[in-house]
Structure formats: C-alpha cells, structure tokens
Structure 1
Amino acid sequence: MIIGSVTQPYGDSNLQVLARTLEAVDYDHVDVAAAYVTLGGARDMLQMLEHSLRSRWLTARKRWVVSFDYCRSEPLAIKMLKSAPASHVRIHDGSRVVSQLGVPKTPFHPKAFLLHGGGGHSVFAGSGNLSRSGLNTGNEVGLLIGVTAQEPHPSILAHVKAVQKWYESIWQQADKLDPSLMDRYSGIFDSVPNRSDPVPTDDDVIEHSRQPSGLTPGQLRKLRVCSSLWIEAGKISRNLGKAVPGNQLMMKRLSRVFFGVPVLDVTPNSPLTVIEITFQSHTKSDCSLTFSDNTMDKLTLPLPGAGGPPAYDEKTLLFKRISAGKYKMVIGDEVQKRDWLRESKRVDAAWEMRGGRVWGVF
C-alpha cells in the first residue's frame, strides 16, 4: 500500500510527496486536474517530473486538465505544460468560458494528481493548485493513497480506479487546446481590463517585510501578469572597471516579481534567480538577479560590447517575457519609449522611482 500526507508548510510539501512517490514506483502515466496554473507552478512541476521520472521523462504520458476560470491561468504556463515531452492539455469548458470573458458556468476547482502504470496506481488529492505557492510554500493539506503491483489491496484499488474513471470523464468532456482556443484566451488575459486589475492567485501572497517596497499588491499583480517591463537605466555603476561601461541595472525593490521571483523578505546581497536574456542575436543564460545591499533589485545584463550594446548608461531598456526564465531585451529609442509609456498608462502601470527614473509594465 502507498500512503502519504501533506501538511504544508509545516511538513512535507505537495511537490515533495509527489517526487518521492514517483521515485519509489514505476509510473508511466501522470494525470493532473487543477483549477489554474501559474508560470512558477508549471516550472516547478515540470522540473520535479523531469528529475523524478528520470529515464521515463521523455516517454511517460502527461495529461493536464486546467481552466480559464477568472483568467487565473497564465497563457505561458499553459503553453509550458503543453510543450513538455508526451504532454497533452485540455481546458474544462474552455470555449464557453472564453465566450463569457473568463466567467465559468460551474467553477472547475479540483486539485488531483493521478499516477499509474505497471508499478501501481496512486491518487494524490489536496488543496494546492499548480502554483508555486500551492506546490511549495502555502498552507495546504493533501492525502496520497495507492497500491503497488506486488500489493494490490482490492478495496483501495477500487477507490483509486473510481478517481481514474472520474478523470477520464472530465478529460473527454474538456476542450482540446488548439491554437484558436489558446489565442482567444490569450487575448482576454492580455486585454486592458485584465492587465489593469488582475485577479489574485496564490502566487500573489505578500509576506510582511522589514523593507517596504512602495509597490501595492495591485501593482505587484501587474508585474506578474504583464509580459513587458521597461525602465530608464540611468547612470550605470562601473562595476567592470573604471574605464569600462557597467552592466548592473538597479531596479525598484520587488521588480523581481516580473522575473518570476516570489515576494519574499530576504536579506541584502541575497541571490534571487538566474535568467536568460537575448539581445539581438546574442543570448546570455546566466544573468543573475540579486537583492542588493542598497535595497534595490540588481539585474546583471549581458556584457557591453560582448553580447550587449556598447553601453547601458542613460538608455531605456525593455524586457519581454518569452517563457519561464527567458527574456528578450530591446534598447528603445525615443519613439519606442513614448510607445511603451503610453501602453503602460493604458493599464495604470507607469511609475517613477525616488531618483526620478521612469519605468513600467504592459
């Protein structure tokens, strides 16, 4: 018999229980049903599956039923799930919800993970969505139950099979995620009304901080939802030497949210994440984001003249999110800067830092 529990954040997390189960038994099918998926949740889930399934990662069938309800699922997160090996995505009542601009007739609210194959059959059900908070850090509970091929336990297997039957039913009823449906949802998600006032998700939790950022919860949600961030670089410090242009961009504290980092209270000089930045035809995959000792978020850019522009001083930079952890950088001229400012003002997301530098998202 297979049994386990989640008492997050005080005990094992959802991701830890799932990883341990996948590593202990040979499963070749992973079926997931969740109300919504965020980019951070998709990345954490897929990284766990790749590590835990090991040689089965490429061939194990993965199915996901998620929803468009209330525009909580992030389009890039859905695309990330679909792009995984042997992965298939369907949307609960997707066409109807899109036609109603994200409002469901009957909300889709399960959080279930079904694992089955030659080694056994298991069901894990709990309260956590496919979000970084739901999988790792939020207050969540869950129970795992299953059987192995060596110990089938008929009564337990009957209940597991009942949940599998339920999953097959919702899978058959859900809409296939074709390009047309994805484009229609992306249009709603990226619309001015949604970017102006995004619906909160579990990943928008803000813990108490000793260093107030000056950003409101609503502004932080815009950082998560919007796909482009632009900023006046100002004067860049000569971190590479007095005679060499610098490459460390100082941004307002918690700008990190745009780059997929949770709102956590960390000490100065703490590393936050590493991202990939593409500028023109050059890609640098190890651009570090750090909470600097000056209480600003510090992004290390591609080296000037070696993958980057000759210098960043007094330039206006735009970062466009391509996928989880991957961004395209553009150096804007005055016309582009005016366009970016106008787009940010449309969603009330143009701001000014204490030193006078202007920045925003859209």
Structure 2
Amino acid sequence: MKLKAFIQSAENHPTTLAELRRAHEWAETEQFLGLYAYATQSGAIAFDLAFGSDFWDQVPSQWLFGIDYGRTQPQALRFLIERSNVEVRIHDGAWVVERNGFLPRRDFHMKAGFLTNSTKSRFGMVVGSGNFSSNGLRQAAECGASLHAATTMEFKKTFRSAFRAAKDLWEAATPVEDILDSYEERWAASAALEAPEPEAPAPNYDELEVFWIEAGYVTRNRGPDKPGNQIDMPRGMNRYFGFNAPDNLAVNSVIGEVTFEPPAGGPVTNNLRLGNNMMEKISLPIPETHGFDMYDGKVLVFSPQGGHYRMWALEAEDFESAFGHRLASVRVTKSGRRYGHIE
C-alpha cells in the first residue's frame, strides 16, 4: 500500500482536489463515494472543472453531505444531482431539515473520498481537513493524506473497514430529493442576508467604502475546463463603480473602465458595458493568475481606493462572518443573487 501525506497550499505539495484526481486516474475508478460535512457551489464547480464530463458519464458516484447549521448551499446539491450517474444523500437529513437553525443531533464532520475498482483490485482513499468547497479542495491551507491499495488484501488490512462504515452512513442517510425543496425554502428564509423592503433608499454611492455581489454560477466564457471570469450585474450597479449611466443607454455601449486591484498579478482594467440582456457586464481578473481559484459561488467584495477597486472573492460563510454585522440594505437581482454595500 502507498500512503502520501500533504499540506495543501505548501510549496511542492498537491491540493486535495489534485490528490482525488490522481487517485481516480490510478484506480481507473468504477465507483466513487464522497462524504463531506458540507458542500458549496464553488466546491461543486471546482470538482466539475477538475474531473469533467467523462467522470460523470462513466463513473457512478454517491455523495453524502451534512446540512448541519445550514452550511451546505442548495445550489451545490442541485448542481450535483443534475449530473449523470449521481446519487446524493443527506446525513440525518429528514430530522435536521425540520430543526430551527438546522441544528444536528450529532455533528457530521466527514471529509473523505473513496475511489474503488473491484475489477482490477485498486482502491484509493483521500482524507483530510478540506471540505467540499473550492477553498477546502484546493485553495486554503489544509492537511490530508491519500492511500492506494493495489490488492484486495491490502485494502482489507488498511481502510476497507472505514469504507464499509462510510457505506453504512450513506445507506442510512436521507435521499436529497426527499428534502431538497424544503431545505432550500427554509435555508433561504433563515439566511443572514435578508432582502430589504422595496422602498429602501439608495445609498450615497460617493461615500461607500465597501460593496459586494454574489457571483452565482459564472458562465465558462474561457472554455469548458477553465473557470469563467465574466459576470452580469444588475442595471444601475455602475453607480457603485463611480458612473452614472443614463436609463436610455443603448445595449452594448461601454459605460466606463474599471481598474481592479486583485490579491496578485497587478492591476487589471476592463470595460463595464451594458449587455444585450440589459445587465451590466464586466470581465474580472483571470482567476488563476490574480490570486483567485474561481468566482463561482463566491461573494465578490470591492473597496474603492483612489479610483481603483480592491477586490476579494469569499465563500458565503466567510463573508457573513466578516461582514454580516455591518451590512446595510441588501438588494436582490432577478435571478436571486444578492448585492449591496457595507457600513
């Protein structure tokens, strides 16, 4: 058996996602079982980018997630169940979905993936601290280990008992289809970021120090194997960027130039324009060259600095922890993405 420990984000060490991919290629996976405490939209997109349509088409996969405390995003669950050969279950889901705050009877903290090929007697396991979010799978500082058993006897002596215990958890769990509509409804109603009353006044844009928008799903404008970097924003959001576009602006007109200051790679200047769908479109800095892993499922945060805009891409939970107590009015796009400013 081969065992490899790694520290994600350390130089010359792989990511959790890369180790999952390596185990998959070695095992020529016939069956995948993934168990994670929670799932985010960014995690689902990151996995999809790394494994591609061939994985979904060729490998039956079973997924077990927790919804403890409402950390799992319904968008992530819907994305996964729309793939081929996928079954998703929720740990103690029928009970947790009915509890205020989605409080569990017992916390579900699993973070493991099993990749098995019984025909060729190859068995892989990747376990660690990273959850099923883009940060947990490839960006944040995490630790983990991958195990490869090349014979059935090796598998039996090492992690077969863990695999069987994981299967038992999955078998006992609630099919996601039984509770997803209810979970999504209750999750949205309990979200910390609540929409304002319709008559909420517009902010004084000249005085804003921080504003934000949920990216949602980002179209893969750079190709199917790369995270997208072009997002739509609601009509009028140009005011947050210091413009005042007229209401009768023609489609495909350039509203102005926006210069971003991302965490790495230097400033990037792109046009903000009005698209054919009457949304305001902007191309953001290329994720992999400017300190981001992706924008999908993240909350984009902007801070005006001398005519430029410093920016961050945060997981929703991290955004709410950092800024939830400072939110001013929260607005909602027609597609349900939220945005606003921070006081």
State if a TM-score over 0.5 links the two structures. yes
Hey, what's the Cα distance between the residues in 1 that align with 2:328 and 2:95?
A: 30
| Cα distance change of structure 1 residues 248 and 265 upon mapping to structure 2, 3 Å threshold | farther
Give the match for residue 74 of structure 1. Answer: 73
Q: Deviations over 1:43-89 (max 9, x none)?
A: 011222227xx4x5402111110011111111111111111110110
Q: 1:288 aligns with which of 283, 288, 308?
A: 283
Task: Supply the distance in 2 between the matched residues of 1:296 and 1:214 (Cα, whole angstroms).
Answer: 10
Secondary structure at 1:32 match in 2? strand
Alignment of 1:20-31 (within 5 A): 20-31=22-33
| Counterpart in the other structure of 2:45 | 43
What is the aligned counterpart of 1:186 among 184, 187, 205? Answer: 184
> Structure 1: which 5+ runs fail to align?
198-212, 238-242, 255-262, 272-276, 299-346, 352-358
Deviation for aligned residue 1:188: 2.0
Judged with a 3 Å threshold, the aligned counterparts in structure 2 of structure 1 residues 153 and 97 are, in CA distance, closer, same or farther, namely closer
| Structure 2 counterpart of 1:12, from 5, 11, 14 | 14
SS at match of 2:84: coil
**Structure-2 separation of matches of 1:115 and 1:288:** 37
Instruction: State the shift of 1:177 in Å.
Output: 1.1
- Between Structure 1 and Structure 2, how many residues are aligned? 258
> Secondary structure, in 3 states, of the residue corresponding to 2:131?
coil
Question: Partner residue of 1:139?
Answer: 141
Percent identical: 20
Aligned-pair RMSD on alpha carbons?
3.9
Question: How far 1:168 sits from its partner (Å)?
Answer: 1.3
Q: Which residue of 2 aligns with 1:317?
A: none
Question: Is the Cα contact below 8 Å between 1:236 and 1:245 reproduced in 2?
Answer: no
What displacement does 1:229 show? Answer: 6.3
Question: What residue in structure 2 maps to residue 354 of structure 1?
Answer: none
1:127 aligned residue: 129
Q: 2:92 maps to which residue? A: 93
1:174 aligns with 2:173: yes
Deviation at 1:103, TM superposition (A): 0.9
Q: Structure 2 matches for 1:96-115, cutoff 5 A?
A: 96-101=95-100, 102-115=102-115
DSSP 3-state at the match of 1:121: strand
Question: In 2, Cα distance between the equivalents of 1:135 and 1:156?
Answer: 25
| Partner-residue secondary structure (3-state), 2:284 | strand
| Separation in structure 1 between the aligned mates of residue 30 and residue 276 of structure 2, nearest angstrom | 36
Shift of 1:176: 0.6
Letter matched to residue 191 of structure 1: A
Measured at CA, do residues 247 and 67 of structure 1 come closer, stay the same or move farther in structure 2, by a change above 3 Å? farther
**For the Cα contact (< 8 Å) 2:114–2:125, is it kept in 1?**
yes
Structure-2 change in CA distance of 1:245 and 1:23 (3 Å): closer
Residues 249/112 of structure 1: CA separation in 2 closer, same or farther (3 Å cut): farther
Opposite residue 107 of structure 2, the aligned amino acid is: P
Other-structure match for 1:246: 253
Separation in 2, partners of 1:192, 1:252: 36
Contact 2:57 2:84 in 1 (8 A): yes
Compute the displacement of 1:268 (Å). 1.1
TM-score normalised to structure 1 length: 0.60
> Which one has more relative contact order, counting CA pairs under 8 Å at least 6 apart?
2
User: Residues of 2 paired with 1:71 and 1:194: CA distance?
Assistant: 11
